[in-house]
């Protein structure tokens, strides 16, 4: 069916409109539509948009309305424009057509580019198929791959001797020195038919990691244990665990490799199937997950781990997983729908204070404290290590090493370094290694080259002094003695004495000085304001809390009354203004610090009596209620 290129009209009407500028503009727009769509499509569009009659009308306004319907493709337009509105409408039509033509040009250009790219990709795809066919026919190996395989096999033949730490590491629980109570608590908690998650506290280098590893082996041999013979021990460091909050990568809990972004296995990626990757919690299923430095873990990751501890499973999600896809392997479907099993016992080790750990983690775990090592225990470790190395040592070597460290691992390191130095010196002399003996000179040479200093600088003394006393403090899990000294001079003007105290000692320690003023006045009727008093914490250390109150009061009492104080007794406790000795924290650590410094006696508050270890040896612990009782034990009578 042939349609007229232009809508019919009378010759007179056409001539009149062609003379009219607006009419010519209307005819021009119609011509553009004809060029863009073609005559047939213009008539067809006009018919669909109910504009055909209007387009054939001799009324200029109706023809403009028809153009509006066609250009804007809006059949709902019904109102004919007035003669005043027509020029503005024509401009809108022209702008719309201009936009359409611009889009048309861009689209044509894009289509040409797309066609070119598709042709290129097709050629590349054909080339890949050819290469694949060649590879399949030739096999996976070539000269380069075979050469690298030979290098790997040659590397496998090279074996260095075990490191010293492997040899010196305890192989049985009985060989872990100084941690009998901690080891017993650890094994009993995991060997039970109802094993508990555990947090191990303690200073570094005292055997927490080794004890956890050996505890599992011991638990496997106990009747009623939940651990199978092949129960795994998975070890990871919490400080080095890195993960992506989007769970793109999560070595601890597991992650999903989506086929587009992470790249699943080729046979899965080709069909668009996501691939779950199980994490360490699933590797530890049925065994122990040991996280060293658990206090350094990312808090959000730790919260996710706590959820796994509750559920004993790990859930996986992916927007690419389609449960109705027949190509999904059964194991992947099971993981996405049921999760992966993760039923394990968590053992976390930390050198942090318990109060610094996540309360939710602590509430789920039993807590076991590993104790600092005493000099005697360090010496025992050195003797055992020498036996494992099968080397002779001079008798004073263990004692020297114990002066420079309180860590068992560090003691082994020092001995291993001294062993290497002794071997090297024998080599230079051309002598046989059979004559090897580690001497005190070897040890001193090692500690000097490492710029090490003796761990304990304050030492107990049998000589008594005035105005000098040893308090006790705690840093982490390590106790230490705090040397406090005082001097007093009568002030020039009575009642206007000055008190000087370390600025770095802390505000609570300064408050103890004022408490001591009330106590001294009560004891002997002396006013601190009548003296220029200087109290010094040797070393300028910060005293955290009021626990040095008793020591400060005794130092002031000694100097004001010219009383000698014993230098082999250390004290701890808060002093009240009534002279009562109040309880403090960290009693075990403080007693340990006193033993390290060679003290024979420690005075503690009466209310802390229950905190003294039952099996304590090597030091006398005396509970006191008042400063008067403490004076009786501190004053040296000559």
* Known catalytic membership, residue 547: yes
In total, the chain counts a number of residues equal to 638
> Measured on CA atoms in the order 555, 558, 564, 569, is the torsion positive or negative?
negative
Q: How far apart (Å, rounded) are the C-alpha atoms in residues 594 and 609?
A: 16
- Whether the Cβ atoms of residue 558 and residue 564 lie closer than 8 Å to each other: yes
DSSP β-ladder status, 437-438 and 392-393: parallel
Catalytic residue among 547, 553, 580, 595: 547
Q: b/e string for 217-254 if b means 16 or more Cβ within 10 A?
A: ebbbeeeebbbeeebbbbbbebeebebeeeeeebbbbb
Query: Residue 345's beta-bridge partner residues?
Result: 288
Q: Write out 166-209 in H/E/C secondary structure.
A: HHHCCCCHHHCCCCHHHHHHHHHHHCCCCCCEEEEECCCCCCHH
Measure the CA–CA gap between 321 and 312, rounded to whole angstroms: 23
Let me know if 459 is a catalytic residue: no
Residue that the structure tokens 């008539």 belong to:
43
Q: Are 57 and 66 in contact (CB under 8 A)?
A: yes
Of the residues 45, 208, 410, 590, which is catalytic?
590
Q: Is 453 exposed, middle or buried (0-12, 13-18, 19+ CB in 10 A)?
A: exposed
Please provide residue 564's backbone torsions phi and psi, each rounded to the nearest 5 degrees.
-80, 140
Q: Would you name the residues annotated as active-site residues? A: 547, 590
């Amino acid at each position: 069916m042939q349609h007229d290129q232009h809508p019919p009209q009378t010759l007179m009407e056409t001539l009149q409109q062609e003379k009219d500028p607006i009419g010519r503009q209307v005819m021009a727009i119609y011509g553009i539509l004809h060029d863009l769509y073609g005559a047939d499509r213009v008539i067809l569009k006009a018919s669909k948009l109910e504009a055909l009659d209007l387009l054939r009308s001799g009324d200029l306004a109706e023809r403009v309305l028809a153009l509006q319907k066609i250009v804007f493709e809006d059949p709902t337009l019904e109102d004919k424009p007035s003669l005043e509105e027509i020029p503005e409408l024509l401009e809108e039509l022209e702008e719309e057509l201009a936009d359409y033509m611009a889009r048309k040009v861009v689209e044509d250009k894009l289509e040409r580019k797309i066609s070119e790219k598709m042709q290129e990709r097709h050629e590349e795809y054909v080339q890949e198929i050819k290469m694949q066919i060649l590879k399949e026919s030739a096999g996976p190996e070539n000269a380069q791959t075979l050469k690298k395989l030979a290098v790997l096999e040659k590397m496998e033949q090279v074996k260095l001797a075990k490191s010293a730490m492997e040899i010196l590491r305890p192989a049985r629980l009985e060989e872990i020195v100084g941690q009998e109570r901690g080891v017993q608590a650890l094994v009993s908690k995991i060997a039970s038919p109802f094993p508990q998650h555990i947090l191990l506290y303690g200073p570094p280098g005292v055997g927490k990691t080794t004890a956890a590893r050996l505890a599992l082996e011991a638990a496997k041999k106990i009747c009623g244990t939940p651990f199978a013979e092949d129960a795994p021990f998975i070890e990871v460091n919490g400080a080095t665990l890195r993960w992506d909050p989007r769970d793109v990568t999560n070595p601890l809990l597991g992650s999903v490799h989506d086929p587009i972004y992470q790249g699943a296995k080729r046979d899965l990626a080709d069909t668009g199937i996501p691939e779950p990757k199980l994490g360490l919690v699933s590797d530890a299923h049925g065994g122990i997950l040991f996280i060293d430095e658990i206090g350094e873990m990312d808090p959000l990751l730790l919260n996710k781990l706590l959820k796994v501890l509750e559920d004993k499973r790990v859930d996986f999600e992916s927007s690419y997983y389609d449960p109705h896809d027949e190509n999904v392997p059964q194991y992947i479907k099971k993981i996405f729908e049921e999760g992966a099993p993760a039923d394990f016992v968590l053992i976390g080790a930390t050198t942090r204070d318990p109060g610094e750990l996540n309360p939710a983690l602590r509430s789920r775990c039993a807590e076991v404290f590993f104790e600092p090592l005493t000099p005697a225990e360090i010496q025992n470790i050195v003797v055992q290590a020498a036996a494992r190395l099968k080397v002779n040592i001079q008798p004073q070597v263990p004692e020297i090493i114990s002066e420079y460290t309180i860590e068992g691992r560090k003691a082994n390191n020092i001995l291993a370094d001294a062993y290497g130095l002794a071997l090297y010196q024998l080599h230079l002399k051309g002598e046989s290694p059979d004559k090897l003996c580690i001497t005190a000179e070897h040890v001193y040479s090692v500690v000097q080259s490492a710029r090490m200093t003796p761990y304990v600088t304050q030492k107990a003394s049998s000589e008594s002094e005035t105005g000098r006393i040893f308090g006790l403090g705690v840093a982490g899990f390590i106790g230490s003695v705090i040397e406090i000294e005082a001097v007093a001079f009568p002030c020039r003007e009575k009642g206007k004495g000055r008190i000087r105290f370390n600025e770095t000692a802390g505000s609570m320690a300064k408050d103890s000085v004022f408490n001591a003023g009330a106590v001294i006045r009560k004891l002997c009727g002396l006013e601190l304001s009548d003296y220029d008093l200087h109290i010094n914490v040797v070393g300028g250390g910060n005293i955290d809390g009021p626990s040095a109150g008793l020591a400060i009061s005794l130092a002031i009492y000694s100097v004001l009354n010219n009383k000698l104080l014993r230098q082999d007794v250390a004290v701890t406790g808060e002093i009240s203004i009534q002279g009562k000795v109040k309880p403090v924290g960290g009693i075990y650590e403080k007693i340990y610090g006193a033993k390290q410094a060679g003290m024979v006696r420690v005075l503690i508050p009466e209310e802390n009596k229950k905190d003294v270890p039952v099996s304590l040896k090597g030091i006398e612990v005396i509970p006191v209620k008042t400063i008067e009782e403490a004076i009786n034990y501190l004053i040296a009578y000559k």
